[in-house]
Amino acid sequence: MTEKAFVMIKPDGVRRALIGKIVNRFEEKGLSLAWAEMMNVSREIAETHYGHLRDKPFFGDLVDYITSGPVFAMIVEGKGAVKNVRSLIGPTDPAAAPPGTIRGDYGVDVEENVIHGSDSPDNAVREIALFFNRM
């Protein structure tokens, strides 16, 4: 079934000019870009998006990082988009992410880990609404 995933190239990925290479990976996999916007994330949106991590010691740093420069926010669409996006991205910590995954190939830092992808279809709907104010 066609599904939508919310994907965000984080400020380090944008600063390092990785947008083209990363979008290419989703397209090569067979997923398509349904919408994309370069945007600055407000602290309010960052705090809502990462609300599940509010009690973590790194929460303040995480909000500072996500608001430190523009992100490239996307809706990636296709069959099993959420699962397929997560497998292309790889585990949270780039040091544990296998080569061939986006975090495995482009990241070294568990916090500044290049990219975000929704972890469930329900969260994809919530995140698309939060970042784009639409379904």
Choosing from 33, 34, 110, 130, the residue that interacts with ligand RTP (CB under 6 A) is 110
Q: Does 45 bind ligand RTP (CB under 6 A)?
A: no
In one-letter notation, the amino acid at residue 42 is S
Choose, by CB under 6 A, the member of 62, 75, 81, 82 that binds ligand RTP. 62
Cα 92 from Cα 34, distance rounded (Å): 25
Dist CA 133 CA 135 (whole Å): 7
Residue choice 14, 47, 73, 116 for contact with ligand RTP (CB under 6 A):
116
Element at 22 (helix H, strand E): helix 19-29
Q: Does 85 bind ligand RTP (CB under 6 A)?
A: no
Of the candidates 102, 120, 132, 110, which has an alpha carbon nearest to the alpha carbon of residue 13? 102
Position 87 contacts ligand RTP (CB under 6 A):
no
Helix (H, G, I), strand (E, B) or coil at 17: coil
Check binding of 92 to ligand RTP (CB under 6 A).
yes
Residues that contact ligand RTP, how many (by CB under 6 A): 10
Residues with catalytic roles: 116
CB contact burial 10-19 (16+ within 10 A = b; e otherwise) = bbbbbeeebe
Summarize as ranges the residues that interact with ligand RTP (CB under 6 A). Answer: 53, 58, 62, 92, 110-111, 113, 116-117, 119
